[in-house]
Structure 1
Amino acid sequence: MNGWFAAAAGLSAFTCGLHVIVGGRIAARPLLAATDLGRIVKFTTYYCWHLVTIAIGALAVAFACSARAGAATDLAVFATVIAFLFAMWSLGMIAMFRLSLVQFCQWILFFPIGVLGLIGSLG
């Protein structure tokens, strides 16, 4: 059992739950209620929100499988890279569009997942 990957799996599952519950309330519901968006924009964005849900859930599964394997696997390395890419894209958007680090705090959830995955891969 790799404890670092297990921790990354748990944090990924927590992040997925947060995305569904809080993100559903502050992003998905208002998106669906918006009347000033065209159908293509609205439902493509809603579709993407669900793709993110699936991707975060897949991170949890990937890390859980790797934790059980007890060693760094290609799956764990892939999940680690994805977590870091999610964090970097969040920070990149914040910089590009001059957004608030606090209001757009997705990076703070994905960065620790990547760190846990990295430590697990090196150990």
Structure 2
Amino acid sequence: MAVTCRRLHDEPGPDEGTLVLVDRLWPRGLRKADAGFDEWAKTVAPSTELRRWYGHDPERWTEFRRRYRTELDEPERAGALDHLRALAHRGPLTLLTASHEVGISHAAYLAELLNG
């Protein structure tokens, strides 16, 4: 599997495959007509409570990953994660996020999980 992630607002690269937005909230400043991705998998995103607690604080990254992994075991999120896994088995998959800190975002952690 080849799963990558990038910021939604960045220019797409070559051979990104299926593009999936993995944020719970619709990105500010983006019209749906200009979205440019294949799917919106908002159910795989962290809960509002976890997202607010984390706040992309690098010191909380390890604990965020632990808590988010627990959330991903919930049935609805587990199903969404399985769907992403199925997409990744079909070909390249790029997870998109509006986060400014992609390297410490839930999208990065999802890519890590999906890549095994």
Does TM, normalized by the shorter one, top 0.5? no
The structure whose Rg is larger is 1
Q: Which structure dedicates a bigger proportion of its chain to strand?
A: 2
- Structure number with greater CO (CA < 8 Å, separation at least 6) is 2
Higher helix share: 1
